[in-house]
Structures are given as C-alpha cells and as structure tokens.
C-alpha cells in the first residue's frame, strides 16, 4: 500500500490555505445541513454573482451548433451573438470538442494582443501570447521553466496568494519573501526588496524572478506607476524576470487609484533587458467565470528559444480548454458600440463592478467599527485582509520563541479563531498565516463577494463572534 512517505517530498511541502482544513470542515458542516457562507475564495458565481448574458449565450451556441439553425434562435438570441458564434465556428470548424494549437486559437491570441495594445498604447505581438487554463496555469508554466532546484529563488510578496508558495515548493525551488508594508497601505519598498534579495544570496539562494500581484491578493492594494518603475529597475539590477499577476485589473475601486500594467511601464522606460510575464484571467474582473478556466500569459523580452520552450511545455498538456479560450475572446473583445448586445453587456459589467465597490466600502466601514479589528480599505481586487487583536495567552512568552516557533504559534492562533468563527457562525474565511504576515500580527482574509444585503449581516456576526471569542480567551486560565 502506498504510504505518505512514498510521495514526492516537494508535493508534501506544497500548502494551499485557500482550500485547506477549514474549508474541509466547512464542507462537512454543509453536508450536515448547515448554511455556510464561503468567503474563503474569489469564486463570484458561487456567491450568486450572475453570469454575463452575452458570454453564456455565445457559449451555448458554440457548444451546440445545431441551435444556430433552429427557428427559435432569432427569438432567443440577439443577432450579433448569432453572427459571432458563426464566425467562431468558421474560424475553428471542429468546434469546442477538438484540440487547438498548443498556444491557443490564433484569432483569440490576436484579439488578446489587440486588447493589450489598446489598453496600454504599446506594440504587442500575438506570437508572444499563450492561452492557458486560467492565470494559475500560466504562472505554473513559467515557474516550472524557471525553477532549477533548491538554490533557485522566486521572490514573492508577504502576504501572498499561496499559489506562488505552493508552486515554488512543488518544483523544488526556494521562496524569497519580501514584506508589504501594512502601515503604508500594503505598498512595497525598494529597501525591503534589497533586504530580501541580499538575505537570500547570503543563504546560498539565487533569486531569478519576482512575483508582483497588482491589484493585490489578499491586500487589495493598487500599485502606483512609480512603484512599478522601481520594481523594474530593481529587477534589472539583479537580473530578475518579473511575473506580473494582473488578474484584478478591472477591479479598481478607490477614486485615486488606477491600474497601470507592467508592460506599459517597461515600454515607457524603454526597458528591453527585463523579461516580463503578464497574466490575466476570466475568473475575476466582472466575468467571474472561474469554472471555465480561461486565461492568458503574455511574455516580453524573451529570447526566441526560451519562448519556444514555453510553448513546448504548454504542448505537453496539448492546449487549454476551448470554452475558456472563447471566454477570453469575449473578455478582450466585448460587444462594440452599435452592436445589439453592447448596451446590455455594458450595463451588466457596470452593475457588477459598482456592486463590488459598494460591498468593499460596506465591509471596510463595518470591520473598522469592530473593537479588536482593523483594516486597510481595499483599493481593488475582491478581498479584505483584516487584522485581529487577541489577548495574549496566559503563561506564553512569544518574545522568547524562535522565529519558526513563533510563526507556528501564531498560525495556530489565527487558525483556531477562523475555525471557531466557522463553527459558530457558518462564515468560512482563511487564516492570515496561510498568506504570510508580519511577526506579532494576526489576520484573516475574506472576500466581499456575497450579495450586498448579506454583507452587513456578515459584519454583525463577525462583531458578535469576536467579542465572545476575546471574552473566552481573557477568562481562560494560564497553562501549567
């Protein structure tokens, strides 16, 4: 019988808190009839965000082409949807059941390149675009290519989306943490980047790439253009590639914030020596099509033989799924003014994004009113990284602990809080230790995706639970 000891040690090192033990317990409770509010993951449609009509209409026709010739089609579908479905099937006659080229459908890659060119006002080459099963697969592909062994370092933000730490571990590399500054709105600084890189080198680890999430997950911070330029200069000095995770580029809510891509900043700097990998996805933004697993990777400043190796790695999986590729096509080439579906598509998009903005504000205001909690209001993305204050455990001297022991202690504390929250209220969130946090701080990550009418009730339950939990801890006897 296969035992745990027989498994790949790199696989055992990989951890993914977003779907960890607390979520397993939530599913057990749900199976027992409990109502669970899953705020642990950015899964909009699971929390009742409606799919965008145009995309679903198009997918239904492309998935089942006989509908195009049915007499009812003119009553059920706008003419531009029907026309687009016919064009898609003309461009890929085998339909959704057949493989495409490994890099993806050529006309979709061209549409992605045109989208980036419009967004940034810069030249873009469709040959530098790979269509992937969500952004996660693109990130996985790049890390697979870059990590050569335990001395290969990938710089990741702390707090970070655990996809990065898990994937680096799975490929046997070393994670090089750089801390985001909570007091400065979760921005990153050049001094911290230099500290992290220098410390890694002193320990025999050579950083080869830096991952940056903008807007941030779990923090919701939006990077300023000057900060992106600083990262580019830092990457050049140290010979690093940049992994720009930009899947939340449509999710910017703060009036004084705006999304600026790494591709645009590198172009403005005339930077041709820094390799850039940019990622986008249909799972976030306003589409929220997590289940369709559509995304793209665009790369710049790569040697041609390196680009060919990426395509080779992609070809091992043959290609990304076709409905996801079509969803990407809609994301980058939505209905245009003058087309029958343009008004409804634009209205649905605005309603979703305006709703997310309103829910972020409601959550931030509510959380800041809870004694023992604080929050840097999210500027973007879909998450809030809430800071917790808990009374110290009697008889526990954290200052005398080693850094590893302290991390373990604090991980148990925020995990216990999140598990108790789930058991008592049915709210499922993720401990901050699953993303990384500064020593001496405790956090949890929650989405603000539930319907607007539920957000205020969620905040009230958080307030009442936290008061009870703190009271229980304060009354607990000291450990012998």
CA distance linking residue 109 with residue 98, whole number of Å: 18
pLDDT band at 452 (very low <50, low <70, confident <90, very high): confident
pLDDT at 434: 85
pLDDT at 15: 66
Over residues 411-439, the pLDDT tens digits come to 788 888 999 999 999 999 999 888 888 88
Helices 225-238 and 190-202 meet at what angle, rounded to 10? 20
Pseudo-torsion of CA 222, 224, 230, 236, nearest 10°? 60
Angle at 438 between CA 183 and CA 250, to 5 degrees: 60
Q: Strands (DSSP E) along 223-328, which ranges?
A: 241-245, 276-281, 295-300
pLDDT at 195: 97
Angle at 28 between CA 26 and CA 33, to 5 degrees: 95
CATH classification for the domain delimited by 4-48+347-475, as one of 3.30.465.10, 3.40.50.970, 3.40.30.10, 3.90.1150.10: 3.90.1150.10
What is the arithmetic mean of pLDDT over 110-115?
A: 97
pLDDT at 398 over 70: no
Any idea where the domains of the chain sit in the sequence?
Answer: 4-48+347-475, 95-332
**363, 384 Cβ separation under 8 angstroms:** yes
pLDDT at 395: 61
Alpha helices in 157-268 (DSSP H): 163-170, 190-202, 225-238, 262-268
Average pLDDT, the chain: 90
pLDDT at 177: 95
CATH classification for the domain delimited by 95-332, as one of 2.60.40.10, 3.40.640.10, 3.40.50.2300, 3.40.1190.20: 3.40.640.10
pTM for the whole structure: 0.91
pLDDT band at 75 (very low <50, low <70, confident <90, very high): confident
pLDDT at 41 over 60: yes
pLDDT at 4 over 90: no
Tell me if residue 228 falls in helix, strand or coil.
Answer: helix
**240, 152 Cβ separation under 8 angstroms:** no
With pLDDT > 90 as the criterion, what percentage of the chain qualifies? 68
């Amino acid at each position: 019988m296969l035992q745990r000891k027989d498994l790949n040690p790199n696989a055992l090192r990989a951890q993914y808190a977003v779907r960890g033990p607390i979520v397993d317990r939530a599913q057990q409770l749900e199976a027992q009839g409990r109502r669970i509010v899953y705020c642990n993951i950015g899964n909009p449609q699971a929390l009742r965000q409606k799919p965008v009509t145009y995309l679903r209409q198009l997918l239904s026709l492309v998935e089942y082409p006989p509908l195009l010739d049915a007499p009812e089609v003119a009553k059920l579908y706008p003419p531009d949807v029907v026309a687009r479905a016919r064009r898609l099937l003309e461009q890929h006659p085998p339909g959704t059941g057949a493989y495409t080229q490994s890099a993806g459908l050529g006309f979709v890659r061209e549409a992605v390149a045109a989208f980036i060119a419009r967004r940034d006002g810069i030249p873009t080459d469709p040959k530098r675009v790979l269509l992937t099963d969500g952004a996660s697969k693109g990130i996985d592909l790049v890390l697979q290519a870059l990590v050569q062994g335990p001395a290969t370092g990938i710089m990741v933000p702390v707090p970070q989306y655990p996809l990065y730490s898990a994937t680096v571990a799975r490929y046997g590399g070393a994670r090089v943490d750089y801390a985001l500054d909570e007091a400065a709105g979760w921005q990153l600084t050049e001094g911290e980047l230099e500290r992290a890189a220098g410390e890694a080198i002193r320990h025999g680890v050579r950083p080869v790439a830096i991952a940056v999430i903008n807007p941030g997950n779990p923090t919701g911070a939006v990077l300023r253009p000057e900060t992106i330029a600083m990262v580019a200069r830092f990457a050049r000095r140290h010979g690093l590639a940049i992994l720009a995770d930009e899947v939340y580029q449509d999710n910017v809510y703060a009036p004084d914030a705006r999304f600026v891509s790494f591709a645009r900043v590198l172009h403005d700097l005339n930077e041709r020596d820094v390799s850039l990998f940019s990622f986008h996805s249909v799972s976030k933004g306003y589409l929220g099509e997590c289940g369709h697993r559509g995304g793209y990777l665009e790369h710049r400043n790569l040697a041609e033989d390196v680009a060919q190796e990426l395509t080779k790695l992609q070809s091992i999986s043959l290609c990304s799924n076709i409905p996801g590729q079509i969803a990407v096509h809609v994301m980058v080439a939505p209905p245009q003014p003058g087309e029958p579906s343009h008004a409804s598509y634009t209205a649905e998009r605005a309603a979703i994004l305006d709703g997310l903005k309103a829910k972020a504000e409601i959550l931030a205001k509510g959380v800041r009113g809870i004694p023992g909690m604080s929050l840097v209001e999210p500027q973007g993305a879909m998450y809030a990284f809430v800071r917790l204050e808990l009374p110290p455990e009697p008889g526990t001297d954290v200052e005398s602990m080693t850094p590893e022991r302290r991390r373990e202690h604090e991980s148990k504390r925020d995990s216990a809080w999140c598990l108790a929250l789930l058991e008592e209220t049915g709210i499922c969130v993720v401990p901050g230790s699953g993303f990384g946090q500064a020593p001496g701080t405790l956090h949890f990550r929650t989405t603000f995706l539930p319907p607007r009418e539920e957000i205020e009730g969620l905040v009230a339950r958080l307030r009442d639970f936290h008061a009870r939990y703190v009271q229980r801890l304060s009354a607990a006897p000291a450990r012998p």
